[in-house]
């Protein structure tokens, strides 16, 4: 029995690592932005996004994780890369900053999956969390039917959270809990795009010009946010 469990754990770790390194190796910033743009378009095509649209209209920052990788063991793990931009005026958004996301999750079965996440900073507290170089996200959201399906009055507690998170699956959006998750500066992507001396805070406050490679992502967000 012990040998079988050991083999299963090894198999799951092998499966998780086979999708490619998350924090090592070279970085293709353009490809990452393209994936984030496509993930955002996929989310926007979901059929039940009334709450999502309302949150987007109020969000101080928008972050997209195009392929959060999860491997479920007795204790699971999740890793991925994300892109975040913050509103710097009524209709303008900052250049995007790059972050890495990782954490633990609980799973009863062995398996592997990828999912796309969109995260909204709903107030100054949420925005400041993204501007910090390293943060731990507490239980800032709960997946409730009221949060995703009902009106503003049913979502008052939800929108008081610093950061709210949605995932898309089978064409439907769901609010999700991101407890036990950490976000940190993606040094390789940030250095490749802006240089090692540029801080995430400066990028998200609009103090750094957006490179040409980021135009498609920012344009897509501005188009959707302006609706």
DSSP string, the chain: -HHHHHHHHHHHHHHHHTT--SSSS---HHHHHHHHHHHHHHHHT-S--HHHHHHHHH-SEEEEEEEEEEEESSEEEEEEEEEEEEB-SSS-BPPPEEEEEEEEEE-SS-EEEEEEEEEEE-SHHHHHHHHSSEEEE-S-----HHHHHS-SGGGHHHHTSSEEEEEEETTEEEE---TTEEEEE-HHHHHHHH-TT--HHHHHTT-SPPPGGGHHHHHHHHHHHT-
Residue 74 has pLDDT above 50, yes or no: no
Highest mean pLDDT among 102-111, 115-124, 170-179: 115-124
Residue 138 confidence (pLDDT): 55
The pLDDT assigned to 158 comes to 54
Q: How many domains does the chain have?
A: 1
Q: Which residue has the tokens 């250095």?
A: 191
Burial degree of 41 (CB within 10 A; 0-12, 13-18, 19+): exposed
Q: Which domain holds residue 200?
A: 2-225
Q: Give 113's pLDDT tier (boundaries 50, 70, 90).
A: low
**Confidence label for 143 from pLDDT (cuts 50, 70 and 90):** very low
What confidence tier does 105 reach under pLDDT thresholds 50, 70, 90?
low
Average pLDDT score over the chain: 74
pLDDT at 110 over 80: no
Given this model, what pLDDT does residue 87 score?
95
Contact 27, 188 (CB under 8 A): yes
Mean pLDDT of 54-79: 75
């Amino acid at each position: 029995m012990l040998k079988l469990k050991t083999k299963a754990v090894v198999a799951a770790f092998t499966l998780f690592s086979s999708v490619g390194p998350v924090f090592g190796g070279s970085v293709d910033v353009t490809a990452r932005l393209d994936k984030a743009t496509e993930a955002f378009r996929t989310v926007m095509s979901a059929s039940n996004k009334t709450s999502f649209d309302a949150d987007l209209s109020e969000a101080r920052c928008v972050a997209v994780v195009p392929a959060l990788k999860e491997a479920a063991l007795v204790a699971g793990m999740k890793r991925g890369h994300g892109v975040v931009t913050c509103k710097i005026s009524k209709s303008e958004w900052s250049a995007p900053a790059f972050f890495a996301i990782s954490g633990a999750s609980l799973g009863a079965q062995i398996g592997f999956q990828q999912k796309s996440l969109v995260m909204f900073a709903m107030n100054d507290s949420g925005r400041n969390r993204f501007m910090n170089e390293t943060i731990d996200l507490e239980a800032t959201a709960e997946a409730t039917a009221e949060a995703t399906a009902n009106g503003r009055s049913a979502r008052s507690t939800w929108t008081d959270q610093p950061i709210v998170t949605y995932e898309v699956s089978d064409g439907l959006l769901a609010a999700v809990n991101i407890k036990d998750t950490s976000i940190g500066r993606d040094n390789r992507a940030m250095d490749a795009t802006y240089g090692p001396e540029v801080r995430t805070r400066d990028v998200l406050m609009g103090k750094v010009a957006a490179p040409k490679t980021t135009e498609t992502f920012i344009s897509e967000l501005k188009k959707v946010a302006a609706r």
